[in-house]
Amino acid sequence: MSAQPRIACALCVGSAPEAFLAATLASIADVVDTLVVNDNSGARRSANVAVLESSAFAAGGRLRIGAHPFVDFAGMRNDAQAMLVALDPPPEWVLFIDADEVHGSQIRSIARGVLPRLGPDVAQLDGYTYHFWGTFRWISDVARRMAFYRFSPTLRWENAVHEKLRGTRGRDVVVPYVYHHYGNVLPPRLLAEKHQRYYRLGNPVPRPPDPHEATLATYLERSREIRPYCGAHPAAARDTIAAIERESRDAFATLDAGFRARRTAPAILRSSLQGLVEDLRVRARYVEHPGLYRAPMVAQ
């Protein structure tokens, strides 16, 4: 087995408050050697930066923050890439994460037990994410997600929205690990602002509602596509989830009732089959790379 690789993380934050930022940081604190943050807020010291400065990364001298104006998502990632290039010594791997994603304890198994066993022909390690919709009790899908990529100073990001990493050299490996994405559990106004930003950058979807007109109906329109989530949430996120549920109890109750009322028998069957297919797809990764990943599948 190779020596433990040096791991960095490049995180981007803006002016919008990130409710899960503290949980995100806590979930990766003992995996990442250096956290670089591209602050796009334009503020002297935003609320998100305040959270960063109170994190274990700051306390351990492992935090680097740079401020850059936001142009588009590729530019945002490339500004963060420049910060990675400036690190001395450079990282071997980069943990890819957004401020609304929270890992479970399994991320340590990947960092300490999987990455050191990957040869130079592997450029990227992927897992999967639960995408929550509306409340913490419903998901839209389980999607493949890049978790780590091998660092190179020549890497570049492309596309103004739904950015893609270019310049990696090697193959992808996918492990049967699922973590949690909470970016679509927001008040309707904030969700509309988020989708409007994507739309203005060229996201090819119908025009989202104006933020001041957004209501809970924004969520209910996708009632036929979602399914209940019956699993546990990662430990790092539980306090944040409990606080948000207390603050949003009435809205969540309205959404939960609306989802149940609108889900017809065909919709329930369709989403259940989708869930079965996605679950089998994830579990098949145990067979694809036997012995590579032995930790539980779902983030804990």
Model confidence pLDDT, tens digit, residues 172-194: 999 999 999 999 999 999 999 99
How many of the other CB atoms lie within 10 Å of CB of 52?
Answer: 23
**Which domains does the chain show, CATH number per domain?**
7-133+144-176 (3.90.550.10)
Dist. CA 229–CA 50, nearest whole Å? 32
Q: In this prediction, what percent of the chain has a pLDDT beyond 90? A: 95
Mean pLDDT (the chain) is: 95
The candidate with the shortest Cα–Cα distance to 93, out of 163, 12, 1, 4, is 4
Average pLDDT over residues 13-39: 97
Q: Taking a C-beta distance cutoff of 8 angstroms, is the pair 70, 80 a contact?
A: no
The predicted pLDDT at position 3 comes to 79
pLDDT tens column, 197-214 = 999 999 998 899 899 999
Average pLDDT over residues 147-155: 98
Angle between helices 21-28 and 238-247 (to 10 degrees): 170
The predicted pLDDT at position 2 comes to 56
Confidence of residue 67 (pLDDT cuts 50, 70, 90): very high
Dist. CA 294–CA 65, nearest whole Å? 35
The predicted pLDDT at position 299 comes to 84
The predicted pLDDT at position 14 comes to 95
CA angle 48, 115, 278 (to 5 degrees): 75
The predicted pLDDT at position 195 comes to 93
Assess whether pLDDT exceeds 60 at residue 1: no
Assess whether pLDDT exceeds 90 at residue 107: yes
Average pLDDT over residues 248-252: 97
* Sequence-separated (6 or more) residues with CB below 8 Å from residue 290: none
Which residue has better confidence, 187 or 300? Answer: 187
Assess whether pLDDT exceeds 80 at residue 162: yes
Phi and psi at 296, nearest 5°, equal -55, 155
Q: In this prediction, what percent of the chain has a pLDDT beyond 70? A: 99
